[in-house]
Amino acid sequence: MNCFIKRVYEIVNELKIPLIDERVYDKVSFSNSAAIASVKFKFEEDESVIRGFLGLAEYFHTVVIKRNDEFFIPHASILFRLLSA
């Protein structure tokens, strides 16, 4: 597990945000055609990007979904995405 993913897991546990990953689901897909907006966060060694992204899940009272090496927060018609640069 790379440092980026490990740090996201640590902060998710600290903030007690529900995270759904490959251990839980069989398959996950997102429909970008249903989204009015897609917002991308890029982690470039600044932890505040991770905290800001996860703060959205906390604010919207929703879950974080991990797919491969990316994290997603679906909310209404917006899809937030966090990836490592």
What is the DSSP track for 12-36? HHHHT--EE-TTT-S-----TTT-S
Strand 19-20, strand 64-67: pairing: parallel
Q: Which residues pair with 75 in a beta bridge?
A: 78
CA distance 53 to 38: 13
pTM of the predicted model as reported, rounded to 2 decimal places? 0.89
Cβ contact 64:81 at 8 Å = no
- Quote the pLDDT of residue 32: 66
Per-residue DSSP letter, 45: S
Q: How many domains does the chain have?
A: 1
- Domain of residue 12 covers 3-84
Summarize pLDDT for 22-72 with one digit per residue, the tens.
888 888 887 767 778 989 999 998 999 999 999 999 999 999 999 999 999
